[in-house]
Amino acid sequence: MGLGVAQPDIMANARPEHAGATLNTAPHSLDAMAVLAALDTDPEQGLSDAEAARRSRRFGPNLLRHRRPAGPWRILLNQFESLVVWLLAAAAALSLLLGDIAEGFAILIVLALNSAIGFVTEWKAVRSVEALRQVARVATRVRRDGAVRAVPAESLVPGDIVLVEGGDIVTADLRLIEASRMQADESLLTGESTPVSKGTAPVPEDAPLAERTSMLFKGTVVTRGNGAAVVLATGMATELGHIADLAAAAEPEQSPLEKRLARLGGQLIWLTLAVVTVIGGVGFASGAPPLLMLEAGVALAVAAIPEGLPIVATLALARGMWRMARKNALVERLGAVETLGATTVIVADKTGTLTENRMAVSRLALPSGGWEATADAAPASEVREALTVAVLCNDATLASAGGAADAATGDPTEIALLRAGAAAGLHRATLLADLPELREEAFDPDTKMMATVHRAADGFLYAVKGAPEAVLPRATRIRTGDGGDAPLARDGRQRWLAEAARLAADGQRVLALALKRAAGATDDPYAELIFLGLVGLLDPPREDVPQAISDCIAAGIRVVMLTGDHAATARAIGRRVGLPEGEVIEGGALPPLPELDDAARARLAAVPVLARMSPAQKLDLVALYQRSGEIVAMTGDGVNDAPSLKKADIGVAMGLRGTQVAREAADMVLADDAFPTIVAAVREGRVIFDNIRKFVVYLLSCNLSEILVVGIAVLAGLPLPILPLQILFLNLVTDVFPAFSLAAGEGEAGVMARPPRDPAEPILTRRHWLSIAGYGMLITAATLTALAIARWVLMLPQREAVTISFLTLAFAQLWHVFNMRGRSARLIVNEVTANPVVWGALALCVLLLLGAVHIPLIADVLKLVPPDRDGWTVVLGASLAPLLLAQLGDALRKGVRR
């Protein structure tokens, strides 16, 4: 923890960008006066304006560094990082060098089109995410030159005396020097939803962050009480700043799809070089004309490169991004769209992600029996009496009778009690009209109780609430079911303490309720109480989370919960949200992960619930999963989640409740904060990968047929059956539209009923490569057969014969789209034939092919001539043969398997 001070010998160690310097002793373990002395600050006068200005120049503004969004030039350059794009550029350069201007410029147009699509899509996504980022200007009350004034939070400096009260946002790391019944909500920093009591007493030097009760931390909220504190650190020297540094240092992982496409691009480079080298060498060795071999080399290079792949991949991912945006999942990076489909582990932060991040009454345990907050029946008289005490002994406020979640102020526990009372028709304002409050004994962390005194018709009513271990020893009687009361003996107290422990083990925060009636208003409020019962409160799970987790488990995805609660509470919450039973490990019991042996790491990786994990431990945990071969999605909304959000394969931040730091670190932002949106995104990711696999198989089998057609003709000493520009036309026009129609598929019905694919599995497995080879050879055979018929049966000139082979190849590739149905799909009705985009793409491509041979300008560029009736008969018959043979082979394969 950095501590900024005014003395030159101490301040000399502080870096200019960090408003703090290092002391040997942690300030939370020092006496408050010692900290003030080290900072050279008078608590009554504060800093002078001149000294504050000097320290501001020294340490800079009290601001966190934040990631600048990707600029347009960076996004544009990202579009040229694919190996396939570089292959296209090389093909364009080669065409231009050989004087094929039309071919070269056609490929360059493809590059420009692909880059424009990717740029527009990513830029739109960046702007959507930026719209969520709001920078709020917060004022802070400080004491300077002996006067209290409000100053912008960014102008705070180490040594400033800050005044805080309930409702204030803490704007720097502070050491308390005065505190009156103060509590703070530190959930965004520690992950623990229950407010923490604060005081001025030093705590042990090795106390974890969540137990440094003498400190207030930047970004947290004071929920009750008031006091004064001295600024220890500002900006990047705060605990919040340290987490921001961790997030900046975390290396983002390349998405699985990016890795696979990069691997496929590398394979295509070697394939292209090998094919051109082998066929070119054989041709030159056989004495073929050099110009023919150069032209064949260009044709082979163009044929080996799936020019449509980057276009279709970009469009498929962009379409997935737009579909996810309509479902409230904003994705900033195209490659991240598919990553969720490969996810094997979702590491979910509890507070605000799996739970509501608000306390709610769960049940009342009364001497007459239990009462669930969800009960439909009107509460009995003893329940109303207990809730009346809970509402009267309260400092929070609800702005409306209904108690809207966004219209309450005060301690979260007290707000929950008011809401429970309002649900039973007990509103504080109405109760106070009949029972006016005369005085209050505010909650004291030492006594762990609070009391209010009210004027009643028969005297005075004392309403008391507090910790069970504090209230029960003060109670001498207990309320009975008939409205009377009976003595409370020692064994009775022990039974109720055991009940309180049971509720706590179930993940609930437990308060005891009591009252007494007296003739005067100045009696000891905690003497001779009548015990009414216990109230259990919890941070409830979001209603849709258990089903979402069940869907994840059905899809073979493991969900791991991280929480700032203690182990017993964490276990109960995990059970409540639907996580499988298992060991719970607290971060404080873990040695640094590098010190764990293989068995300990395997045990940690299998744990479903992890409690009280520090940001650094979360970061290490994500790395541990990744080293085990898992694809990790990390969800969260707090500052403490930011480093692991960035490190995960895909970080998922909450858009409504999430902090700016978390949103900046994430790849995806949930605009509705709904965990089920993640499940929908997982399905979308799986569908996208399946579709990508289909169109890659489709494109590569088409390209292989082109390679074989050219290669076999060259090796056989025949004229080229298809020219380079014709190949480019097929790859960019007639191939792209059917491939994109496959990318637009809605997916199979059971896509979420299967386990995640192996993270190491490539886009194309051995089975897919064999399919590509089989389909490619069928189309090649059909094309060369059509060429032979045209040349030696119909006796057509070379240009007319090349037109027949071109059209046969083109239509065979169009019909080939129907071979892309699932292995278990039916022949006629399946996900391909049911896709209207497929039929639209085929109709468009047929029109384009007819235009290519019948529009003179295009026909001249492509060197085509319109075929006669016999020629069209050959084209249609030969082009349908590969589809029919492939379907026959598939039927035989299924028959043999049966």
Residues designated as active site: 349
CA pseudo-torsion sign 831, 833, 836, 837: positive
CA end-to-end span of the chain, whole Å?
69
DSSP 819-832: GGS-TTS-SSSSTT
CB 385 within 8 A of CB 397: no
Work out the widest C-alpha separation in the chain, in whole angstroms: 121
646 alpha carbon, distance to own chain's centre = 9
DSSP 177-244: EEEEEEEEE-HHHH---S-EEE-SS---TT--GGG-TTEE-TT-EEEEEEEEEEEEEEETTSHHHHHH
Per DSSP, helices labelled H in 598-674 are 598-605, 615-627, 642-647, 660-665
Q: Enumerate residues 6+ apart whose C-beta is below 8 A from 522.
A: none
Phi then psi dihedrals of residue 882, to 5 deg: -60, -40
Query: CA angle 189-617-61, nearest 5°?
Result: 40
3-state secondary structure of 575: helix
Residue type, 57: R
CB 157 within 8 A of CB 231: yes
DSSP 294-306: HHHHHHHHHHHS-
CA–CA separation, 268 and 276 (whole Å): 12
CA–CA separation, 491 and 511 (whole Å): 19
CA–CA separation, 333 and 322 (whole Å): 12
Phi then psi dihedrals of residue 383, to 5 deg: -70, -45
Phi then psi dihedrals of residue 146, to 5 deg: 80, 0
Q: Enumerate residues 6+ apart whose C-beta is below 8 A from 404.
A: 398
Q: Enumerate residues 6+ apart whose C-beta is below 8 A from 22.
A: 2, 3, 13, 14
Task: Report in angstroms the alpha-carbon separations of 303 from 105, 106, 317, 699, 807.
Answer: 17, 14, 24, 11, 16
CA–CA separation, 164 and 142 (whole Å): 9
Q: Which structure tokens are listed for 857?
A: 């300008």
Q: Enumerate residues 6+ apart whose C-beta is below 8 A from 721.
A: 709, 710, 713, 783, 784, 787, 801, 802, 805
The DSSP bridge pattern shows strands 139-144 and 147-152 to be antiparallel
CB 275 within 8 A of CB 707: yes
**Length, in residues, of the chain:** 898
CB 144 within 8 A of CB 48: yes
CA–CA separation, 39 and 681 (whole Å): 51
Surface-to-core class of residue 251, CB atoms within 10 Å of its CB (0-12 exposed, 13-18 middle, 19+ buried)? exposed
CA–CA separation, 386 and 270 (whole Å): 78
CA–CA separation, 43 and 251 (whole Å): 43
Cβ atoms < 10 Å from Cβ of 652 = 33
Residue type, 446: D
Instruction: Pick the closest to residue 559 from 410, 713, 756, 732 (CA basis).
Output: 756
The DSSP bridge pattern shows strands 161-165 and 139-144 to be antiparallel
